[in-house]
A and B are shown apart, each in its own frame.
Chain A
Amino acid sequence: MALDKIGIAKRIAQELNDGWYVNLGIGIPTLVANYVPAGIQVEFQSENGILGMGPFPFDGEEDADLINAGKQTVTLLDGASLFDSAMSFAMIRGQHVQLTVLGAMEVAENGDIANWKIPGKMVKGMGGAMDLVASAENIIVAMMHTNKKGESKILKRCSLPLTGVGCVKKIVTNLAVLEVTPEGFKLIERAPGVSVEEIQNATEGTLIVDGEIPEMKID
């Protein structure tokens, strides 16, 4: 069965390494913070100026002066720090943040990503996404494999205005884990009960299937 958003977040959480600073984008990526594996210490960076971001506040304890990049009220953990936006993006462009997880409308087999604009229809802006994808050593894209019409979002080439070029390394969708390689999308894992054929049918870009493809292990 295809994963839901929580399943995608759980699978991405398995990619976290001890000691990493991690920036989570809005949407599915935010959920990753709830599933950090036991025994691993990571710190979450919010690009509006927090390191060591904690969970949502208890009801009644919310503070208008303490929000995350999605404008949601949050808390600080012990050891947290606060800083301005120039400092925040110095951390990001300076590659002090080890992992960026973000959503996408389209990803292409050359590692291009599009997630900020649909010409003539929707223009919300890129926020910090262009800085993040241009700089991060590790970028994981969290997304549904297809759009609401059932069309693939895993493409040969992006059709929407780009957020970054040649930057995506790994993609976790409701159907599969894919790695971006010079030859195309390499299928690494299947969602539980999802066949290689189903993944192939939902993938417009070149899919490389090498040998037996294991199922994801999700608790």
Chain B
Amino acid sequence: MINKVVNNVQEALEGVEDGMTFMLGGFGLCGIPENSITELVRKKVKDLTCISNNAGVDDFGLGLLLHQRQIKKMVSSYVGENDEFERQMLSGELEVELIPQGTLAERCRAAGAGIPAFYTPAGYGTEVAEGKETREFDGKMYVLEKAFKPDFAFVKAWKGDTAGNLIFKGTARNFNPMMAMAGKITVAEVEELVPAGELDPNEIHTPGIFVQRIFEGKDYEKRIEQRTVRPKN
């Protein structure tokens, strides 16, 4: 067993520098690496390029990094929940690359899978395809999209073991498994860290080979963006 455990979030983020490209897992506020984000805020690293499906909300998630102007460029598919983000984007302070969600997922997966680029139909004929190669296959047009090259990937899982194996819960899985594959250094924070051998190998979502550093996170807020319920009767 190769031990991937680091003592704390500070150790997990060693080597993080200004100007780097990060991937951050999560969909909305679901499955975001809360501890790593808090530490990035504390470290005040800046000029970051952040690849994440969304940009958090004004006072939580990636919104905290935006608030301190630590992000130079965001690569996302949907940013509608964050007023500060929209303001920085429309005023030109923040560089933004909006890309289709499936393309975002596949560019993460490709990065981890040794695939430099791939063709997708998403975005053909739109401004997303501007400046990109296009090609016809069997009568349909496709756009060539390239794999990302992140320095670090920050992911969050429900359970993990000392070998770096991860299990996700519910829809908190989302982009985390592909981002884990893609990081030059992948930092996994988990709600519960157990000794190797305790997790059923049949149920591992992300094998430990993709994870360089793992730690048990603290004080998860797990904020709900849109609490929607129905009455009990």
Residue positions of A touching B, CB distance < 8 A: 46-50, 55-68, 70-74, 82-86, 88-89, 92-93, 112, 116-117, 120, 122-131, 134-135, 161-166
Q: Compute how far the CA of A64 lies from the CA of B90 in the bound complex, rounded to whole angstroms.
A: 31
Quick check: B100 and A59 within 8 Å, CB to CB?
A: no
Q: What are 20 pairs between A and B in contact, CB < 8 Å? A: A48-B27, A48-B28, A50-B171, A55-B230, A64-B30, A64-B222, A67-B27, A71-B30, A71-B81, A72-B227, A85-B104, A86-B108, A86-B177, A89-B105, A123-B89, A123-B98, A125-B98, A127-B77, A134-B122, A165-B126
Quick check: A125 and B122 within 8 Å, CB to CB?
A: no
Quick check: B28 and A92 within 8 Å, CB to CB?
A: no
Q: Does B138 contact A (CB under 8 A)?
A: no
When the two chains form the complex, which single residue of B122, B158, B228 contacts A93, counting CB atoms closer than 8 Å?
B122
Q: Which residues of the partner chain B approach A58 to less than 8 Å between Cβ atoms? A: 229-232
Quick check: A89 and B224 within 8 Å, CB to CB?
A: no
Quick check: B230 and A127 within 8 Å, CB to CB?
A: no
Interface membership of chain B positions 98-128, coded 1 if the CB is closer than 8 angstroms to chain A and 0 otherwise: 1111111110110000000000111111111
With contacts A85-B105, A131-B102 known, is A73 near B31, CB below 8 A? no
With contacts A65-B172, A85-B175, A123-B79 known, is A70 near B226, CB below 8 A? yes
* Nearest CB on A from B172, distance (A): 4
Q: Compute how far the CA of A30 lies from the CA of B232 in the bound complex, rounded to whole angstroms.
A: 21
Quick check: A86 and B79 within 8 Å, CB to CB?
A: no
With contacts A73-B229, A126-B100, A165-B126 known, is A93 near B169, CB below 8 A? no
Q: Which residues of the partner chain B approach A163 to less than 8 Å between Cβ atoms? A: 126
Q: Compute how far the CA of A70 lies from the CA of B103 in the bound complex, rounded to whole angstroms.
A: 19
Q: Which residues of the partner chain A approach B178 to less than 8 Å between Cβ atoms? A: 84-86
Residue positions of B touching A, CB distance < 8 A: 27-31, 53, 76-81, 86, 89-90, 96, 98-106, 108-109, 120-128, 158, 168-178, 205, 222-232
When the two chains form the complex, which single residue of B124, B158, B174, B205 contacts A85, counting CB atoms closer than 8 Å?
B174
Q: Compute how far the CA of A55 lies from the CA of B94 in the bound complex, rounded to whole angstroms.
A: 38
When the two chains form the complex, which single residue of A84, A92, A126 contacts B175, counting CB atoms closer than 8 Å?
A84
* Nearest CB on A from B139, distance (A): 12
Q: Compute how far the CA of A49 lies from the CA of B177 in the bound complex, rounded to whole angstroms.
A: 12
Quick check: B171 and A93 within 8 Å, CB to CB?
A: no
Quick check: A64 and B223 within 8 Å, CB to CB?
A: yes
Quick check: B100 and A130 within 8 Å, CB to CB?
A: yes
Q: Which residues of the partner chain B approach A125 to less than 8 Å between Cβ atoms? A: 76-80, 98
* Nearest CB on A from B224, distance (A): 5
Q: Which residues of the partner chain A approach B124 to less than 8 Å between Cβ atoms? A: 134, 164-165
Q: Which residues of the partner chain B approach A120 to less than 8 Å between Cβ atoms? A: 90
* Nearest CB on A from B58, distance (A): 15
Quick check: B89 and A71 within 8 Å, CB to CB?
A: no
Most chain B CB neighbours (cut-off 10 Å) among A55, A88, A117: A88
Nearest residue in A to B173 (C-beta to C-beta)?
Answer: A84
Q: Which residues of the partner chain A approach B169 to less than 8 Å between Cβ atoms? A: 65
* Nearest CB on B from A139, distance (A): 13
Quick check: B174 and A62 within 8 Å, CB to CB?
A: no
Q: Which 4 A-B pairs have the closest CB atoms?
A: A89-B102, A165-B125, A124-B80, A131-B102
Q: Which residues of the partner chain A approach B205 to less than 8 Å between Cβ atoms? A: 84
When the two chains form the complex, which single residue of B96, B120, B227 contacts A62, counting CB atoms closer than 8 Å?
B227
